[in-house]
Chain A
Amino acid sequence: MIDYDQEFDFETEYEDDADVDEALDNLIITLGEKIVEEETGTQVIVPHRVQHVMYTYKLMKYLCKGSGATVQYFLHEPFTSVGYVRVTGENLEFGHPEWFDRAVELADNLDICPLTNGKIQMDFTFHGITKHID
């Protein structure tokens, strides 16, 4: 586990721009190394976690029926162990709040942002869809 305070020395009062640049470079390099470490090695699918993704996908597909919204799911993106369900539409409206609530509960997080084309994008992110076997 990374001790972020120690690693990136957040308490430092930077003397000049070069100090800030160096700190940011170190941050990127360390995070990159961490990701490479996570991505290498043999991993196996965690079936019940993938089912969470599929359940949320099907549920959102049903809740968005007739609304013109697009519902997609992605596995192993942007990293091997991550998947997400994406809902895109102009005016997203949901009944059955308890079902929506269930989908949010299964996901690790939900973020909703506006797009430049006037649509709304909603991402349900799922971590842990694979695990290392070593």
Chain B
Amino acid sequence: MAIKCWDILNEVLTEATSQFAPTMTPNYDRVQKVKIFCNHVDTFAAEMDATEYHVNVNEENTDITVEVTCPLVYVEDRGDAFYKLARVSERFGFKENKDGDIVVSFVIPGVWEGLS
């Protein structure tokens, strides 16, 4: 996959930030953590021969969902990117799409905080 997770997520974050302004603003440290998260997503996608990314921000609770579509998921080693993603996610899930591929979704907390 030539497209990087952060490229997509950064666009979505920028758009969401403009929506949440002026009451909420992105926290720099949280954005850095999301960048690291995206690196793990890219590694996971490469390991699983992923074909698609989908990123969504929940407007109510600001949670970020990253979905990765791949034909199979196989986890063998504790060093696998899946472990790292599962560990930093609030929750994650698996479902099948109409093409018979697996859509793995990882939900992480949003990067925004309210202005005091």
**A interface with B by C-beta (< 8 Å):** 90-95, 97-98, 100-101, 104-105, 108-116, 118-120, 122
Cβ-closest chain B residue relative to A115: B96
Cβ-closest chain B residue relative to A108: B76
Restricting to B12-66, which residues have a CB under 8 Å from any CB of A? none
Contact of B87 among A97, A115, A118, A122 (CB under 8 A): A97
Q: Is the CB of A104 within 8 A of B75?
A: yes
Q: Is the CB of A114 within 8 A of B87?
A: no
Contact of A101 among B72, B86, B96, B101 (CB under 8 A): B86
**B interface with A by C-beta (< 8 Å):** 72-76, 78, 82-83, 86-96, 100-102, 105
Cβ-closest chain B residue relative to A93: B93
Q: Is the CB of A97 within 8 A of B94?
A: no
Contacts of A115 in B (CB 8 A): 96
Contact of B92 among A93, A111, A116 (CB under 8 A): A93
Q: Is the CB of A111 within 8 A of B72?
A: yes
- Contacts A109-B74, A110-B75, A119-B96; A95 near B87 (Cβ below 8 A): no
Q: Is the CB of A94 within 8 A of B93?
A: yes
Contact of B83 among A92, A104, A109, A116 (CB under 8 A): A104
Cβ-closest chain A residue relative to B88: A97
A101 nearest CB across to chain B (Å): 5
Contacts of A113 in B (CB 8 A): 72-73, 102
Contact of B75 among A94, A95, A111 (CB under 8 A): A111
Q: Is the CB of B90 within 8 A of A120?
A: no
Contacts of A111 in B (CB 8 A): 72-75
Contacts of B90 in A (CB 8 A): 95, 97
CA distance A98 to B78 in the complex (A): 13
Contacts of A108 in B (CB 8 A): 76
CA distance A112 to B75 in the complex (A): 9
Q: Is the CB of B72 within 8 A of A97?
A: no
CA distance A57 to B27 in the complex (A): 40
Contacts of A100 in B (CB 8 A): 86, 92
CA distance A7 to B91 in the complex (A): 46
Q: Is the CB of A109 within 8 A of B75?
A: yes
- Contacts A105-B78, A113-B72; A92 near B93 (Cβ below 8 A): yes
- Contacts A105-B78, A112-B72, A112-B73; A94 near B91 (Cβ below 8 A): yes
